[in-house]
Amino acid sequence: MGGERKGERRCGGAPRVGRGVVIVRRLTLSGVALVVLFLVASNPALAGPYAYVSNERSNDVTVIDVATDRVVATIPVGDRPRGIGLSPDGRTLYVALGEEDVIAAVDVAARKVVAKIPAGSDPEAFAVSPDGSKLYVSNEDANTASVIDTKTQKLIATVPVGIEPEGVAVSPDGRLVYVTAETTHTVTVIDTASSTVLATILVGSRPREAAFTPDGSRAYVTAEIGGIVSVIDVKRHAVVATLKIERPGAKPKGVVVGPDGKRAYVATGASNDVAVIDTAAHTILKYVPVGRRPWGIAVTPDGRKLYVANGVSDDVSVIDTATERAVATIPAGKGPWGVVIGP
């Protein structure tokens, strides 16, 4: 008589859930959300991915959340940071400090320098091996490449390369290292198993950077003075195509290949744009305007966005790879140089 009580079963139905239970559940879910937000805020390693930009004149690294395209931190690192890279697990950021002859190791979660690793004379750029066990560093003043064990933080090999070495790239399988040399206009090919030179490849005038395709069959090498991009058959150690950057004042520097291997992207320096290359046809499809003197360039793991360090306008351009248009400009430090993207 007088109706159901809370918790009683309706005829043939499930028990009613009281209003108080619903409120408690909502509060519980809200509490969980707040806990998650707190954990992410207190531990950057749980969020991401992030773009890390080395700023050679302000001696720091700008950290950008790629989901929001906003700067979330600035990390002081040391004198003249240029080359930049991440360990495969995303926990350690490495930054070349040419004025200090070291590679700074940054704890990504803490966002602070935890070690400075001796890296030979004037380390300009470097690459991290796919397993994270080694750093391959170009020593511009010494005409060598240094091999560093990341666990012991010790130099384990020194390899003679071309004159004024600059860019460094490791093949996806970790077997080869390419080191460009600005004065000899060459790429030195190093066998990582023996730390010996396998081949020397003549490319354009003043080569700056190299990037491998995901399958490791091709490599793209930019030449700043030559204004070209050389396409190398990795197995044959031979140039199979040369692409001219047809832009006034172009000085191609940074290069990256998309994760599907269908496109390569080149920062053209003084012409203030990014060249989009069809890797199958070996043709330049278009040029995307960005900031002033685009230098370093990186692609997100999903291939949807490019981040371009503009060294003169002190900012980072974000390119949507689907529309091939710049969709954002993000302030950075002074003299943005390199970019790397990871967790």
Instruction: Tell me what the pLDDT averaged over the chain comes to.
Output: 90
Question: What pLDDT score was predicted for residue 38?
Answer: 45
Question: What pLDDT score was predicted for residue 343?
Answer: 80
For residues 164-192, give the mean pLDDT: 98
What are the CA-CA distances from residue 21 to residues 16, 56, 166, 258 (Å)? Answer: 10, 57, 65, 50
Give this prediction's pTM. 0.87
For residues 153-180, give the mean pLDDT: 98
Question: What pLDDT score was predicted for residue 58?
Answer: 98
Model pLDDT for residues 238-268, shown as the tens digit of each residue:
999 999 999 999 999 999 999 999 999 999 9
Residue 117 has pLDDT above 90, yes or no: yes
Model pLDDT for residues 132-156, shown as the tens digit of each residue:
999 999 999 999 999 999 999 999 9
Cα 302–74–87 angle (5° rounding)? 45
Identity of the amino acid at 190: I
Residue 24 has pLDDT above 70, yes or no: no
Dist. CA 121–CA 123, nearest whole Å:
6
Residue 12 has pLDDT above 80, yes or no: no
Question: SS3 string of the chain?
Answer: CCCCCCCCECCCCCECCCHHHHHHHHHHHHHHHHHHHHHHHHCHHHCCCEEEEEECCCCEEEEEECCCCEEEEEEECCCCEEEEEECCCCCEEEEEECCCCEEEEEECCCCEEEEEEECCCCEEEEEECCCCCEEEEEECCCCEEEEEECCCCEEEEEEECCCCEEEEEECCCCCEEEEEECCCCEEEEEECCCCEEEEEEECCCCEEEEEECCCCCEEEEEECCCCEEEEEECCCCEEEEEEECCCCCCCCCCEEECCCCCEEEEECHHHCEEEEEECCCCEEEEEEECCCCEEEEEECCCCCEEEEEECCCCEEEEEECCCCEEEEEEECCCCEEEEEEEC
Choose among 232, 148, 149: nearest CA to 186. 232
